[in-house]
Amino acid sequence: MAAASLASPLSIAQSSMVPSTGERVVIETTSDKVTQSDSRDAMPKPAINDAVAFEIGSVPEVEAVYVQHDFANNVFYVWSVVPERDHELYERIYAKEKEIIGRFEQHEFDFNIVPSRGGDARTLICEDSVQLAYARTR
């Protein structure tokens, strides 16, 4: 893959409506690199992050979605933050994860669900290599 630097960071904001709740969701991606992909990797990494965030974030109870990409092993790590442990909620998130795996078959995923238990979902995971890809505004 070839990458070229831009003079200034590129910022893309996408606004969509969540059909089940009517809530407006804004996902913003900022990058200072443009990546040209080969046929095995048809979608740039920020676009995959956005797709994962949008898909899992469409579940109304999801408070936040974090992502991390292990480039060496081509694995996307995903953490979905929910208020509490709830079997029915987890099942709906698992269904979204299954859709993501089917859509991006060329990548490996490691999904996790983390209950916030009243904590701030936007600051729950604070590792430098982990990106907050989605945060619900209430």
Q: How far apart are CA 51 and CA 45, in angstroms?
A: 10
pLDDT in tens, 77-99: 999 999 999 999 999 999 999 99
- Spell out the domain ranges in the chain: 41-135
CATH of domain 41-135: 3.30.70
pLDDT for 91: 97
Q: How far apart are CA 19 and CA 22, in angstroms?
A: 5
pLDDT in tens, 61-81: 999 999 999 888 889 999 999
Q: In this predicted structure, which of 47-51, 63-67, 113-117, 124-128 has the lowest mean pLDDT? A: 124-128
Looking at the chain, how many residues does it have? 138
Q: In this predicted structure, which of 42-46, 49-53, 116-120, 125-129 has the lowest mean pLDDT? A: 42-46
pLDDT for 23: 56
Find residue 110's DSSP bridge partners.
77
